[in-house]
Amino acid sequence: MKLINIILLSAGLIYSSLCNAQAQNTVDANPANINPNAVFPPLSVMIDSALATNAMVRFREEGIIGKQCNLKSYQNYWTRNIGLQADIRYGTFDNFSTNTSEGQSPSVLATRSSQTNYGVGAYIKFPLQDLVNRKNQVRMAQSELDQAHSMAEAQRDEVTQLVIKQYNDVLLKQRLLKIRSKNLSTARVNMEMVEKEFQNGVVSVTEYARISDIVARNESDYETARTDYVTAYMILEEIIGFSIGAPTSTNNTNENN
C-alpha cells in the first residue's frame, strides 16, 4: 500500500512539473512579453504614420476628391446646352419626280438608288431653370467641398490627439512598471533574508507571514502594471500601423533573483 502511494505521489509530482514547464514555455512564447525598456521613435514619426494608415483619414480624403469632381460637374453643367449634331445614313431610297409640261399631262418618274445621306448642325439652348439655379448649385457644391476639407482636417486632428494620448499613456505605464519591478525586487530580497532568519529562529511566524504577504502584493501589482503596459504598447502599435520593436521573451530581471 505504501508503495502504491509513493508511486501515485511521484506521478503527481511529475505531472505537475510538466504542466509548470508547459505553462512557462507558453508564457515565454507569448508575444505580449515586450521589453519594458523599449525605446520609442519620435512622436512626429508616429503621428505621420498614423495619419498615413488610418482608414477614416483616407475615407475623408476620398470624400474631398468626390466633392471636387461634383463641383467641376456643376461648373461645367452649362455646356450641355451647347453642342453639335451630326448624322449619317446609308440605304436604298425610292425617289419620285413629276415632270409637267404645258399642254401635256404630268408624268411621274420613279427611281431607286443606293446612296449615303448625312447632315451636320449646331444647337444652343437657354433653359430658364439652368440660368436661375446654376449659381446656387455651384455655391452648394463649393460648400460641400469646404465641409469635406473641414471634416478631413478634424479627422487628422483626432488621430493626432489619439497618438499623443496613447504615446504618453505608454510612457506612464512604462514608468509605473519599472517602479513596480523595483518594489518587487526589494520585497524578494527582504523575503530571502527573512527566510534565513526564520530558519534560524530569529524571526517569528507572524513576521514571516507579513513579509510573505508584502511579496505577494508586490507580485500582483507588478503583473497588473505589466499587463497595463503591454496593452497600451500594443494599442499604440495598432494606431500607428507599424511595430515599434521586436517583442522579447525576457522575464523581468528581479524574477531571476
CATH code, 240: 1.20.1600.10
Residue 94 lies in a domain: no
Q: How far apart are CA 180 and CA 187, in angstroms?
A: 10
Residue 217 lies in a domain: yes
Would you state the pLDDT for residue 19? Answer: 42
DSSP state of 250: P
Reduce the DSSP state of residue 122 to 3 states and report it.
strand
| Helix (H) and strand (E) counts in the chain | 5, 2
Residue 90 lies in a domain: no
Between residues 150 and 99, the one the model is more confident about: 150
Q: Could you tell me the pTM of the whole model?
A: 0.63
Residue 229 lies in a domain: yes
Q: How far apart are CA 86 and CA 121, in angstroms?
A: 6
Answer for the pair 211, 194: CB distance below 8 angstroms, yes or no. Answer: yes
pLDDT of 249 over the 60 cut: no
- Helix, strand, coil tally for the chain in percent (to 5): 70, 15, 20
Q: How far apart are CA 209 and CA 143, in angstroms?
A: 73
First to last CA, the chain: 42
Least confident segment among 115-129, 199-213, 242-256: 242-256
Q: What is the pLDDT of residues 183-215, one digit of tens each?
A: 999 999 999 998 888 888 888 888 889 889 999
Q: What is the pLDDT of residues 140-159, one digit of tens each?
A: 889 999 999 999 999 999 99
Q: How far apart are CA 214 and CA 209, in angstroms?
A: 9
By percentage, how much of the chain surpasses pLDDT 70?
73
Would you state the pLDDT for residue 179? Answer: 94
Residue 177 lies in a domain: yes
The two most distant CA atoms of the chain are separated, in Å, by: 157
Q: How far apart are CA 252 and CA 257, in angstroms?
A: 10
**To the nearest whole number, what is the mean pLDDT of the chain?**
77
Q: How far apart are CA 47 and CA 209, in angstroms?
A: 50
Q: Band of the pLDDT at 99, cuts 50, 70, 90?
A: low
Q: How far apart are CA 158 and CA 152, in angstroms?
A: 10
Residues of the domain holding 180: 32-66+156-255
Q: How far apart are CA 92 and CA 82, in angstroms?
A: 33
Residue 104 grid cell: 401635256
Residue 134 lies in a domain: no
Residue 172 lies in a domain: yes
Residue 223 lies in a domain: yes
Would you state the pLDDT for residue 224? Answer: 94
Q: How far apart are CA 134 and CA 75, in angstroms?
A: 8
The number of domains in the chain is 1
Reduce the DSSP state of residue 49 to 3 states and report it.
helix
